Amino acid sequence: MHTINNKVLSGEELADLHKWLQQYDINTSRLRREFSDVLPLAEMMKRDHPRLVDLNNFPKRSSVQLKVANWETFNYKILNKFNLTLGREFMELLSTGVPGAAEVLLHEIMRLKKRQRVVETRNAILAQEQIWEENDEVKTVVVNKQVGDGIVQVPQKMILYSLYEKMARDNQAKDLIIEANQKRLAHMENIIKVKTERIDELLMQMGKVPNKLCGNSPRLQCSSFARLPSTSMISYEALRKRHPNTPASSD
């Protein structure tokens, strides 16, 4: 239970209060006198809670004692339903028209009504989503769209915001998986490249030409590998077979 006591409002709080009171056509220059009795506040509350507030319970009073009695009745029958209560001293300040007391009370009422609006809006959204969930996930609604100087109504497809959030989370998770796989693939390609270069070096050291070199040179004929001479020595008989004019050996 929140107890309302007298305090000093800031300039910003007073400005918000005066702006809010304009929708009730209340003269802010006479708050101290007008709200010394509970009836004006009871009339405000009845607009939003017609079944809760019975104006017959709050007849207009002129004496301070009767005004305090009115505030006590309002405190018990109305404010307690909203988890609010007025301190005894604060009710006396209101009844005697102490400057600033009415503003403090009305500021608390303004905060109460704003909280109620937030709750009502949230409940309405949840109720609408519940209706949509029981039917199709995609709905077609009519929205106002400005075309040139005029406003026209056009159909627009809508989905539940909760469904949109779920899809966004799923897509984000998939993007992370794709990114991780791409990094892993690039790492594997780099390993393959390094190993291929190492194999080519080993083949060259063993006297074999890798396939890719055979294909690039027309002078090298090879199927899979072209063997290079394994030694720099050649026999004399083999030399005479290749070159008949070679003189005979003296041995």
More confident residue, 6 or 111: 111
Q: How far apart are CA 128 and CA 118, in angstroms?
A: 15
| Mean pLDDT of the 28-38 span | 87
- Total-model pTM: 0.49
Query: Which band of pLDDT confidence, cut at 50, 70 and 90, is reported for residue 234?
Result: very low
Q: Is 97 helix (H, G, I), strand (E, B) or coil?
A: coil
Angle subtended at Cα 177 by Cα 172 and Cα 179, rounded to the nearest 5 degrees: 95
pLDDT one-digit tens code per residue, 173-189: 999 999 999 999 999 99
The CATH homologous superfamily to which domain 2-124 belongs is Calponin-like domain (1.10.418.10)
Query: Would you kindly state where each structural domain of the chain is located, as residue ranges?
Result: 2-124, 158-206
| Mean pLDDT of the 187-200 span | 91
Burial of 66 (0-12, 13-18, 19+ CB in 10 A): middle
| Mean pLDDT of the 71-88 span | 90
- Which tokens is 139 given? 């709905």
